[in-house]
Chains A and B, each alone.
Chain A
Amino acid sequence: SQQGEEDPQALSIQEGENATMNCSYKTSINNLQWYRQNSGRGLVHLILIRSNEREKHSGRLRVTLDTSKKSSSLLITASRAADTASYFCASNRGQGAQKLVFGQGTRLTINP
């Protein structure tokens, strides 16, 4: 069964606005990763946050992790049309290291 639950399932905003996506998971994790999937393409790794980290930045991306609530959020600032994609969180429970468990994804649409 899928460990990750993402919220919202779909998000539509205007270009230049910020987009926030949330992810919850059920068991303890070693790290949590976020991936982007453009239509018809494979997933691309965006950012990884370890279980002992609370916040991480990469360019216009900011990820937070709250292990007490078993949740993470991905913030994309100053959104662009090119950010239109599906975003997935993936939890690594440390069982064989690379056996990621993916959430169901958030479909983000940036309107010009």
Chain B
Amino acid sequence: NAGVTQTPKFQVLKTGQSMTLQCAQDMNHEYMSWYRQDPGMGLRLIHYSVGAGITDQGEVPNGYNVSRSTTEDFPLRLLSAAPSQTSVYFCASSSTWTGYDQPQHFGDGTRLSIL
């Protein structure tokens, strides 16, 4: 059981480049989300999705786009990379978004450096 799979694990970009971070889950989870983790800041929510075709903004959405065409996949797009987007990005999923007691399952992260 793979759980939540993120690719790539590491990436270096130049300022202004664009890229897509991939996230896939094989648990048929309804809810998926993206966080960024910066030193001393904990995790901050970027975007989330409560089902295929439905996405919404989190706490720090600027500079990122998401879409969810299938239940399994939730890619995160950096439109024009900036050094401030250097971070570790985590994708997470949960079986439902209406159940308050559902734990979130995390991938192992993508470590992104913007030069």
Spell out A's residues near B (CB within 8 Å).
2, 4, 30-31, 33, 35, 40-45, 48, 50, 88, 90, 92, 94, 96-105
Tell whether B61 is near chain A: CB-to-CB under 8 Å. Answer: no
Given contacts A94-B100, A97-B99, contact A44 B106 (CB under 8 A): yes
Chain B minimum-CB-distance residue to A51: B100
Instruction: Tell yes or no: B4 within 8 A of A by CB.
Output: yes
Are A104 and B98 also in contact (CB < 8 A) when A43-B106, A45-B105, A99-B58 are?
Answer: no
Please, which residues of chain B bring their CB within 8 A of the CB of A40? 108-109
- Chain B interface size, under 10 / 10 to 19 / 20 to 34 / 35 or more: 20 to 34
Say yes or no: A42-B106 contact (C-beta < 8 A), given A2-B41, A2-B44, A98-B31.
Answer: yes
Q: Does B71 contact A (CB under 8 A)?
A: no
Kindly count the residue-residue contacts between A and B in the assembled complex, taking CB atoms under 8 Å apart. 72
Given contacts A2-B41, A42-B90, A104-B42, contact A97 B106 (CB under 8 A): no
Find out whether the CB atom of B42 lies under 8 angstroms from the CB atom of A98: no
Instruction: Check: B103 CB closer than 8 A to any chain A CB.
Output: yes
Q: At the interface, yes or no: B40 with Cβ under 8 Å from chain A?
A: yes
